[in-house]
Chains A and B, each alone.
Chain A
Amino acid sequence: MTPPLLEIETLHTSFSTEAGIARAVDGVSFQLHAGETLGVVGESGCGKSVTALSILRLVRPPGRIEAGSAIRFEGTNLLALAERDMQHVRGNRIAMVFQEPMTALNPVFTVGDQIAEVARIHAGASRRSAAAKAVEMLALVGIPDPAQRATEYPHQLSGGMRQRVVIAMALVMNPALIIADEPTTALDVTIQAQILELLADLTRRLGTSVLLITHDLGVVAENCSRVIVMYAGEVVEESTTVELFAHAHHPYTEGLLGAMPRVGRGAERLATIPGTVPAPTAWPVGCRFRERCAFAWDRCAKDHPPLYQLGSGHQSRCHLAEEPNRRAHPHTPLAAASGVASA
């Protein structure tokens, strides 16, 4: 079997804050294979975006990647590279697509110039050939009249067009990996459909791998072959997408799936996860989801659960893997019980 394109091993990224050290990413390991689209899903504060920034080594102080972490990409540990070599990786072998296309583009340059710049930096292209490349890329991402559009500024384009430009910039050097951090969250649903379709089509044609970071399980279901669920700085479940939606194991994943409103379910009441995500400066001992979990028992307060292997490619960080019969006895989660009675 070929080695994975990207292999992350016990990644720890922390931020020193006034309230203490925030362990935003706390021992994350996963692999991504060539040509694969891997989804990373979780709610705000779960560490998914910091994971993405860590891969590109774009974490700024007071954040830092702790010693002992390893990010192997195409066989090299990115964390051991000199900054100069890292710059060669960014935008060339690994490209990033951000959530907000307006802030990802520089308002004072034309979109053509910005795409051409990537080609000039990384391929040393001449001014003329870089400009031609920019027009070619705009055509590739489905922008009508690309030669004209290349001369326009970001504010002259709509949100969907801007995101296409950002994708065009990411694809200039035909990178092996694209990290897309909530690429459609800022867009309308019909535009989101366009952009996801485009991304899927282009990466299929070019053989690019995608790390798709999102909070939307629907986006994951439609675009990813495998998915990682993150909670409180950790991977809590990893599986193929089909398996995850059919047989979610971790109570958090189950909670997310239940809380998600779906078209076609009618006026059914939504399931909720009580409580809130704990603070990253003081993750709870034992299982980090314990207080919000309907199955938690005394073991969950003591032992920090490892990622249990459930079947081929399906892992879950929940003691229920060892004691499945406890699932038969749900109770009111701690977080829901400790408050006032509902009015």
Chain B
Amino acid sequence: MTHDQPLLVVRDLTKYFPIKRGVFGNISGQVRAVDGVSFDVAAGETLALVGESGCGKSTTGRAVLRLVEPTSGSVYFEGDDLLALGAGDLRRVRRKMQIVFQDPFSSLNPRMSIGAIVREGLTIHRLAEGSAADARVRQLLEEVGLRPEYATRYPHEFSGGQRQRVGIARALSVEPRFIVCDEPVSALDVSVQAQVVNLLQDLQRDRGLAYLFIAHDLSVVEHIADRVAVMYLGHIVEHAPVDALFSTPTMPYTQALLSAVPAPDPGVKRERILLAGDVPSPANPPSGCVFHPRCQHPARDAACAAIVPPLEEKAPGHWAACIKQTPTAVSWEAQRAAGGASPPEFYIPRAALHRSLDTSHSSPASE
């Protein structure tokens, strides 16, 4: 692949789940879990996908791997169109893309020893056999910080953090280039969480892995991500380099989300944006801007309920979906006039992004 092409390109990805009613399973509606999501992940970088439960972030992660079948859109991995692949080719490509799950208890088969769990990938893809496979399993366990002697033990003998390490070793066994981390530390205690976050960072550094890091916890994201995409009701509503997102959150939802994180500084009283009400049902999302019923923006008006805000560049590299924030680069009207209402064509001009921003967040692939 060429160097300026991202590892993973996702365009207009949607996943609708049918709502079935009655004895005959008539489809009476659709849950729009993921509704037109586009993003890129470059080799070696971490894109965080952040949002609250039901925003579609996990479904996005699974749809990218085709663990749930997307309704429409396209996913390119190393140039292959994943959605066009047959079962055999898909299996081959999956070697390169792995997933680490949130729940350390349901993610490991309780009836298999952790050695057998880690070994499975090697067997399926014929990467190693016999004693070579044993050695590889031991090496993988060591690499994730587990004692290789414990290969014969079963998942229930391990703590949550240790199980999470086994899950990571399993993902690494097939030597992927890209891992979807689906809330990998959400179920863990604070001290263990830090261990696993650091492990993921070390592995990324050593192996040049790319992560799609799905999380609801913004504080963890700041430590691990290069770029952050915020999701709300199936849409990406803001997308920016991590520093920009945390220093100048632009979309009102992101602002509320950031301000809701409890600060561990008892002296400091912060201005908190308290959102009214709950997230609406994705089966019946609000018109216009999906966030408008809960939005605290002073300029919120009828237009918010009427116009679907496009994701547009409000500052260099900083994209947000809000018609009340004036874009500083190109107005969204101008973009639309140029036929760019849907992001793909003009989406994230990475070269421009890295020229104009501090290079500390540039990814290896773009150099």
- Measured CB to CB, the residues of A under 8 A from B are 43-44, 144, 158-161, 188-194, 196-197, 215-222, 241-242, 244-245, 255-274, 276, 339-340, 342-343
Contacts and interface: CB of A to CB of B under 8 A. Distances in A.
Contacts, number: 144
B216 A217 contact: no
Contacts of A261: 193-194, 197, 217, 219-220, 222-223
B147 A339 contact: yes
Interface string B274-314: 11011100000000000000000000000000000000000
5 contacts: A259-B194, A263-B218, A263-B219, A264-B222, A339-B147
Given A269-B201, A272-B198, A256 B266 contact: no
A196 B263 CA distance: 13
A256 B193 CA distance: 11
Contacts of B267: 242, 245
B67 interface: no
A190 B260 contact: yes
B260 A192 contact: yes
B242 interface: yes
B198 A242 contact: no
Nearest to B149: A340
Contact of B274 (A197, A222, A260, A262): A197
Interface in B300-347: none
Given A192-B260, A218-B262, A255 B191 contact: yes
Contacts of B194: 258-261, 270-273
A188 B215 CA distance: 11
B191 A43 contact: yes
B143 interface: yes
A260 B257 contact: no
Contacts of A158: 278-279
A261 B192 CA distance: 12
Given A218-B263, A221-B263, A269-B223, 15 more contacts: A189-B52, A189-B218, A190-B275, A191-B52, A191-B278, A196-B262, A256-B190, A256-B191, A261-B220, A270-B194, A270-B197, A271-B194, A339-B145, A339-B147, A343-B142
B133 interface: no
Contacts of B355: none
A259 B53 contact: no
Contacts of B265: 221, 245
A257 B264 contact: yes
B262 A215 contact: no
Contacts of B363: none
B183 to A, nearest CB: 12
A190 B256 contact: yes
B159 interface: yes
A190 B52 contact: yes
Contacts of B198: 269-270, 272
Contacts of B195: 272-274
A222 B263 contact: yes
A241 B147 CA distance: 39
Contact of B257 (A190, A265, A340): A190
Contacts of A188: 52-53, 216, 279
A8 to B, nearest CB: 24
A42 B194 CA distance: 15
A271 B275 CA distance: 32
A259 B188 CA distance: 12
Nearest to B195: A272
Contacts of A161: 278
A260 B262 CA distance: 12
B189 interface: yes
Contact of B266 (A245, A264, A274): A245
